[in-house]
Every structure is written in C-alpha cells, then in structure tokens.
Amino acid sequence: MINGSQTNSIIIFGASGDLTHRKLVPALFRLFVLNRLPPNFHVIGFARRPYTHEEFRALFTDAVHALPDYDETAWADFSGRVWYSRGDLGTRIDYDTLQSFLYGIERGQANRLYYLATSPEYYDDVLNNISGAGLAAEEDGWRRVIVEKPFGKDRASASALNTTIHNAFDEHQVYRIDHYLGKETVQNILYFRFANTIFEPVWNRNYVDHVQITVAEDVDVGHRAGYYDGAGVMRDMFQNHLLQLLSLVAMEPPVSFDADTLRNEKVKVLSAIRTVSIHDTVRAQYDGYPETTGVAPNSMTPTYAALKLYIDNWRWQDVPFYLRSGKALKRKTSEIAIQFRRPPHLFMNMTRGKTLDPNLLSMCIQPDEGIHLRFETKMPGAPDIHPMDMEFHYREGYKETALPEAYERLLLDALQGDAALFTREDEIDLSWKLVDYILSGWESPSAPPLCLYPRGSWGPQEADILLFQDGRGWRLGCGGHDE
C-alpha cells in the first residue's frame, strides 16, 4: 500500500513523447482528481528538449482539457507538482543532475517510480545510467521501474533486456507493462470465470468446441510505420496482448490474487502450448501497405495474422484456440468467443435446412464492452429453434460509471507495489519463444505465403479457410453482427 506520509516521485523518461502526452499524464491527473494518488507526489519529466517547468506543463493542456471530468482548480493543483529535468538519455551526468533535482523537491525520504516511455533503443542507456547514478538503490524508499512494450524484438533481445534490467533492479522492482491487462474487461475475464460457479464446470474440453480470440483494428499503421515495419503484427500484438488474453482464458484458478500466484498459472498455460504447425498460420498485409511513408518498398511485414494452437493439458487437450489480429480491418473489435459443443442428440423437428447454432459465450473486450451468451429457443408458433442472446453491456449495467483507462489502473498498481497485472520475465520469454518459432517458420520455403487483404475487410480468405477446413467460421466481432 502507499504510505500516505511519504513522498512519491514518478519519473518519466522520454517525457516529451506521445505516450506521456496522451496516456500517462492524463491518467495520473485522473487518479489525482479521484483522490487516489498519495498526498505527497511529484511527476518529473526527463527528456532532451529545453523546456522550462511551465512549458512542460503546458504540453498537456489539450489532453487534460479533453478529459470528461476536467477541473481547472484540480489541474492547477496537479500541474504545480509536475516538473521537468532536462537531460540526454545517454549522458550519465544528466542523471546526476536528475538525482540532485529529485533530492531538491523530495526533501527527505521518498519512493520513486521510474517509467521507461522512451523508444526501446534507449532502454539500455536509461537502465545503465539509472544504475550508474545510484537511482535504483532502495536506501530511503522503494524504487520501481515500469518498462513499456515492445519488450525486445525476439527471445534473445528480450533476454538481454532482462539482464540489463536486473543489473539495475531486482525482479520485485520490475513492472513490464501490457496495457491490455489494465483494461477492466480483461480483468473481468478472471472475475467472470472465478467469481461465479456456473461457468467454470463447463470451461473445458468436455463442453468447449473451440475458442476464438480476435483483436481487430480499423486503423492502419498511420504515423508509426517506422516502428511497425520492423515489428509486424506478431511482435506488435500477438507476443503480448493476444497471448495474455489466451492465458487468462485458459488458466487454472489461482488460489489468490497475489502477483506471483496469478502469474504462475499464466506461465503454466504458455508452457503448455503445443508447437504450432506453420500450416495452421496465416499472414497477410493490407492492400497499399508498402506505399506508406516509412515502410520499406516491397515490405513483407504482415499487418494481419491468424493461427490455430492447442494447449496440451487436461483441461484443453485438442480444443483449438484460433487467434487473429490485424490492422485496417472492417472495424475495431476485441472479443473472446467460447463456442460450446453441440447437443449430442436433437429430438425436436426443425424445418429442413435449418441448422443449430451452438451455445456461445462472447466476452467483448472493446468497444461496447460486455458479455453475450447465445442459446437456442423455440420459435413461437413453430417447431423451429432460433438463437437468442442474453446480454450484459457495461454502459447499461453500470450506467454513468465510466470504465477507467488501462493506464490509470496500472500506474496505481505500480505505485501500490502490486505486480499482478504486469508480465513476469518467464511469461515474456515463453511468449517470444512461440512468436520466434512462427516468425522463423515463415522464413522457410514451404511456409504459407504472405497474402493480401482489402482495407476495411475482415482479413484474407486464407484465414477463413483455416477455420472452414475445420468446419468452423470466424465470428463477426462482438455481438456477432457485421453492421
């Protein structure tokens, strides 16, 4: 828990960047408005540009004005605790200057949360300099570090980054962020599964036919082409967000919400994933992607991928998990759909040609957050069956209670020392192992080729075939509607 009397400093490296501007400072300000930050805190930006404190504070005016509960007095109060320390990420002496500046505003014992919001090529510099300047030493308060994604670009670089981190910090001080874990609806997967008794008994191979995890985006790579072209959808989305969703859906019940207990269960899922057949993968690129500024001509970077995998354990043996994600798709939708098996025998008459829609549980992560349960009903006045949905929508169920931003929850958890919603070293390693395997498989001559898909579609036909050949089909996003 946060000790109310102690000073807490939140130091953001890469403070002039987009993330600080769009997410971090607005999230901290919201926490402040909600009275959830400790009473004594400072937010210190560290970056190269020569801002004064006032100029730095002014950078956030637009973003905080756009917040639904913006309050001028609160902002004046909050921004008075926002500071700027100019420095070059690679220059050691600038970290000494930062240290002196921190001593000056903290005036005594203080806890410090460091946030690596720089581009990843600076992580080594920042970590080495933090360590060299003695900024990580827990002599007069705790020291923690939040590391943004991408966490490495493959298994080897992730491991090297972990080594650099551990030269400065112990694992208990490290918070690797995956903002999907901060989403309320993602945390709700655990609440839904384990705070109810009626779903868990059917949450296994005896009742589940297959699981689909979709994270579709309607936006294209936009101005992030420079980063994205070197990453592609496997590194950008699968290594982190999709595999995290998978592990929450598939994990065994943890005995407590304690960070390591929870993460142990996720690790068991990741380590039980059967080697993926490269022929159970699809990679694709949206039309026109190579013409994007910042993308290499003839780029082979996939902006879409779909795959089938299995988890070799008692709960999930031989249940296919289909995962897909892509950019420039028909609409933004993130959904986990659990399709249950068909009833073993149907005794009722149905109009010829009518087929049964098996029970389906859809967890809509975003947008229109909620849960749908599909079941068959008798059509009035006819012997036929017809599917209907039981629906829960956050916006109706919780009315004006807004869903907090992922970064609010995660920043607060890091300040409180709760790492449950952050990824551990071994989770990262196992995720990269899977992603590396697929990426290197795609290099082989027998690998499925890179396909194309039209912008605004649901992806390439080959992804439909992946399911069709198993007698299945993709859902059309949350709620299953394609409007």
Q: Is 116 helix (H, G, I), strand (E, B) or coil?
A: strand
Nearest distance, CB of residue 236 and ligand BG6, angstroms: 5
Q: How far apart, in whole angstroms, are the C-alpha atoms of residue 284 and residue 290?
A: 12
DSSP 348: S
> Is residue 425 close enough to count as binding ligand BG6 by CB under 6 A?
no
**Vertex 21, ends 78 and 225: CA angle to 5°?**
170
Choose among 90, 87, 63: nearest CA to 75. Answer: 63
Q: Counting contacts by CB under 6 A, is residue 335 touching ligand BG6?
A: no
CB of 93 to ligand BG6, least distance (A): 33
Identify which of residues 125 and 217 has a Cβ nearer to ligand BG6 in the complex.
217
- Pick between residue 209 and residue 236 the one whose CB is nearest to ligand BG6: 236
**Sheet of 385-393, strand order:** 385-393, 370-378, 360-366, 333-340, 208-216, 321-326, 304-309, 281-286, 450-453
Q: Does 229 bind ligand BG6 (CB under 6 A)?
A: no
Min dist CB 376 to ligand BG6, Å, is 32
Q: Does 369 bind ligand BG6 (CB under 6 A)?
A: no
Q: Please give the residue whose beta carbon sits closest to ligand BG6 in the complex.
A: 236
DSSP code at position 423: B
Q: Which two tokens stand for residue 476?
A: 């059309």
| 396 φψ region: left (φ > 0), alpha (ψ -120 to 50), beta (else) | alpha
Q: Which is nearer to ligand BG6, 110 or 221 (CB)?
A: 221
Q: Which of 42, 179, 241, 372 is catalytic?
A: 241
In whole angstroms, how close is the CB of 201 to ligand BG6 at the nearest point? 31
Determine, following the binding rule CB under 6 A, whether residue 217 of this chain makes contact with ligand BG6: yes
State yes or no: residue 265 binds ligand BG6 (CB under 6 A).
Answer: no
Residues paired with residue 377 on neighbouring β-strands, in sequence order: 386
241 is catalytic: yes
Question: Does 405 sit near ligand BG6 (CB under 6 A)?
Answer: no
Sign of the CA dihedral with 189 first, then 193, 199, and 201 last: positive
Q: Which of 125, 236, 265, 369 binds ligand BG6 (CB under 6 A)?
A: 236
Residue 286, Cα to own-chain centre: how many angstroms? 23
Binders in 116-175 for ligand BG6, by CB under 6 A: 149
Residue 356, token pair as written in the block: 């049964």
Least Å from the CB of residue 217 to ligand BG6 = 5
- 408 scored as a contact of ligand BG6 (CB under 6 A): no
The Cα 460–Cα 287 span in angstroms is 11
**Residues belonging to the active site:** 241
Q: Which residues bind ligand BG6 (CB under 6 A)?
A: 149, 217, 236
